[in-house]
Structure 1
């Protein structure tokens, strides 16, 4: 069958011994999500996350540190390592920029401030205390508050739309002054942020990612608390600028920011931030861009390169997709415990059909083949 090798940017003919022969299928390396959340409080655990990730075509994910308790010390990390062992999905972790851990380059790959409130003094002091490593930066002026950007037609607290770009500039410059050289800006949401990142690349190695929801929706699409996400949705002008930045490869990585919640209140004040999306990420990215090779590249080789993980096309570890299949998202069918998805009811193109790990099919057409030991 046809397979795309994103490392060499070429199509191959490979023999994969599919469980079932279907027309029009293509293969690629398993996806890598470098922005995933796990809950461990009766909501998304490693068992449900494993199934959700596999159903989405992901063979590896990077967990963010805003767990409860926070991923900031050895005891918490050891607990995660135990819970995630013997899984088909390769789990990696980012450690809190504000804690006592440092990345080891094996399972803990970088620092992150994602999901952790901080102000200007706290972020500066964190950079001063830490030895330089890659930093995943959730760029936010937390002291400003606000659930949505100004001009969003929702009666709820707002924040200036320029605040993300201001935080990007502040955090990268603080890091540079303290000896840090590699930064990855998470879930970019505005045109001004893209322009800020391009400017900062004169001084530092700054990569960035975008989520499927920021490519697909704008602030006028907000209709319920599932759309309370962080960062908020920008304007249509911002959305188009993000798509253009993807096309120019200014945005290098596609990431889900999979933020599952078992239940979201209807009240915007009480509802937590986040949308569940790891199961539909490929389809959403592909539908938004209509670029199959680029979607594969930004879900496979791009995040691995940012994180310093080497790779090559391996027919024993592939995701099989049907790029022509059209379907409508139904969150009731999610394997994730988080049904809070902004794409619920949205028609998408392309779907994940199967996943092969270590030479063994672990998922095919909605059915899992996982070891229960």
Structure 2
């Protein structure tokens, strides 16, 4: 007997819907989305029965009914940037703990980074990770592959064997490809195959110059047991001169790392333009890097306008003017640009206490940079919110390992800072967290629309809750948001119409 699920008495939300409604799911796909007030169980049962009868299934299906009790039904989130540390670093995270954390955060699909041990440098390795994740049955993992073999920075021969349907994205995340010639070679191969090149844009020599400053700051922080994740621990007992030295060293490092991001972002975009490649800029964080992406998008917008003008003005209006936040079509040679922002760069200022001591790459930036990032989210320069979920053991964090656990708090942070503070609408947030990453990756997900995969989250956008990192499903407990009060809570997650959380 086949199964159908009818979720009613809900608010429905995606990039174009925001209001009361209901959703009928049949065999893991969205069959119908209804707008309006569907609160009566008998009415809902009659409607579901009529639709299944129309499809010829009235005697072949059992139907379950879920009263959402006013909760919001929204497409499950899609994270283009997570570290699950599996294989090789499973003391930090593994596929099971990572997927449990993703489910609790409302994520039905994640793209995992290849900086594991061994480095994921072949389609065979990537597909093995995907297979093991599928056996767990908690959402979809898309394992990315390294740009250069084993992150050595010299060999791209393994890219010749890739297929975009199984490996849609390659990345050297954790650092950048130092050689521009090697990057051009990789991007040219990726362009020929339609594979996205996701760039951790950071000039390697400038990053190396910043390292001694960070190490000196960490040395002093360890002397006084100051956490390296911006925790809410008191610094009152630390001598003022020690705090000043820490701050000075971190400011020196961050200035170099800002320059590193600016230089590498511009370089990677220009190489992608030459190669005719789709470049995706990871965790964008500086005003100058945002300007580089915005300028590239203006070039693409002008090219698209010229193309549509040759066809019909109305085609241009329909494709661009009425959908300003959808990723732009590629240039004639295939060049295109997208970028992502993280919840921690959206919410936190890296010159504030205690977040100046929160070690992450790229660093938390100035308030000026953060304000520019918010504007880039509002004007469509930023396409995606991705968590860069980076769990570490507490010992590794104390030794300066960069990154935070973030996939379980992402929705609450973004809803609190972006929607509740009036920066963007709830529909725009759904686009950033669901629709756009699905479009970029070529997935049949991200919208409440007939025929789409029924990956659905139930959220309460108004529930206030206090972050307790000790309760995370993730093995990583280091979070600068520990103890913060957020608004917006994931209550349940369904993938392919099957409940996996809540």
TM-score range, shorter chain: 0.7 to 0.9
Kept after mapping to 1: 8 A contact 2:83/2:389:
yes
* 1:88-137 alpha-carbon deviations (Å, 9 max, x no partner): 21111221111314542333111212114531346436437734232111
Q: Secondary structure at the match of 1:273?
A: coil
Kept after mapping to 2: 8 A contact 1:4/1:293:
no
Q: Aligned in 2, Cα 1:187/1:222: closer, same or farther, shift over 3 Å?
A: farther
Q: Aligned in 2, Cα 1:226/1:81: closer, same or farther, shift over 3 Å?
A: farther
After TM superposition, list the pairs within 5 Å mapping 1:356-367 onto structure 2: 356-364=494-502
Shift of the alpha carbon at 1:245?
1.0
Q: Aligned in 2, Cα 1:208/1:283: closer, same or farther, shift over 3 Å?
A: same
Q: Secondary structure at the match of 2:247?
A: coil
Shift of the alpha carbon at 1:5?
4.7
Kept after mapping to 1: 8 A contact 2:93/2:476:
yes
Q: 2-side partners of 1:15 and 1:6: how far apart?
A: 12
Kept after mapping to 1: 8 A contact 2:198/2:279:
yes
Q: 2-side partners of 1:161 and 1:292: how far apart?
A: 31
Partner in structure 1 of residue 457 of structure 2: 319
Kept after mapping to 2: 8 A contact 1:226/1:342:
no
Q: 1-side partners of 2:479 and 2:248: how far apart?
A: 18
Q: Aligned in 2, Cα 1:272/1:123: closer, same or farther, shift over 3 Å?
A: farther
Unaligned runs of 5+ in 2: 1-8, 25-63, 150-157, 215-243, 301-334, 420-424
Kept after mapping to 2: 8 A contact 1:226/1:341:
no
Q: Secondary structure at the match of 2:377?
A: helix
After TM superposition, list the pairs within 5 Å mapping 1:183-332 onto structure 2: 183-201=279-297, 202=299, 204-221=335-352, 223=354, 227-265=358-396, 267=398, 270-290=399-419, 291-311=425-445, 312-313=447-448, 316-332=454-470
Partner in structure 2 of residue 370 of structure 1: none
Partner in structure 1 of residue 10 of structure 2: 2
Kept after mapping to 2: 8 A contact 1:188/1:194:
yes
Partner in structure 1 of residue 266 of structure 2: 169
**How many residues in Structure 1 have an aligned counterpart in Structure 2?**
359
| 2:97 is the counterpart of 1:52 | no
* 1:235-289 alpha-carbon deviations (Å, 9 max, x no partner): 001111111111111111111000111224565xx32111110011111111110
Shift of the alpha carbon at 1:169?
0.9
RMSD across aligned positions (CA): 2.7
Kept after mapping to 1: 8 A contact 2:258/2:286:
yes
Q: 189-198 vs 152-161, which deviates more?
A: 152-161
Q: Aligned in 2, Cα 1:45/1:154: closer, same or farther, shift over 3 Å?
A: farther
| 2:241 is the counterpart of 1:144 | no
After TM superposition, list the pairs within 5 Å mapping 1:78-89 onto structure 2: 78-86=127-135, 87-89=137-139
Unaligned runs of 5+ in 1: 365-373
* 1:160-201 alpha-carbon deviations (Å, 9 max, x no partner): 523312111111212332x23311111110111111111122
Kept after mapping to 2: 8 A contact 1:103/1:110:
no
Structure with higher Rg: it is 2
| 2:78 is the counterpart of 1:32 | yes
1:13 to 21, 33, 37: 21
1:155 to 235, 238, 249: 249
* 1:54-89 alpha-carbon deviations (Å, 9 max, x no partner): 000011001112122111124532441342122221
Q: 2-side partners of 1:135 and 1:242: how far apart?
A: 22
Shift of the alpha carbon at 1:316?
3.9
Q: 2-side partners of 1:320 and 1:109: how far apart?
A: 28
Kept after mapping to 2: 8 A contact 1:264/1:340:
no
Partner in structure 1 of residue 476 of structure 2: 338
Q: Aligned in 2, Cα 1:125/1:251: closer, same or farther, shift over 3 Å?
A: closer
2:116 to 52, 55, 67: 67
1:181 to 268, 273, 277: 277
Kept after mapping to 2: 8 A contact 1:230/1:274:
yes
Partner in structure 2 of residue 367 of structure 1: none
Q: Secondary structure at the match of 1:81?
A: helix
Kept after mapping to 1: 8 A contact 2:126/2:144:
no
| 2:196 is the counterpart of 1:134 | yes
Q: 2-side partners of 1:176 and 1:4: how far apart?
A: 39
Kept after mapping to 1: 8 A contact 2:172/2:200:
yes
Shift of the alpha carbon at 1:347?
1.2
Q: 2-side partners of 1:44 and 1:11: how far apart?
A: 38
Q: 1-side partners of 2:139 and 2:436: how far apart?
A: 18
Q: Aligned in 2, Cα 1:144/1:70: closer, same or farther, shift over 3 Å?
A: same
TM-score where L is the length of structure 1: 0.87
Q: Aligned in 2, Cα 1:144/1:315: closer, same or farther, shift over 3 Å?
A: closer
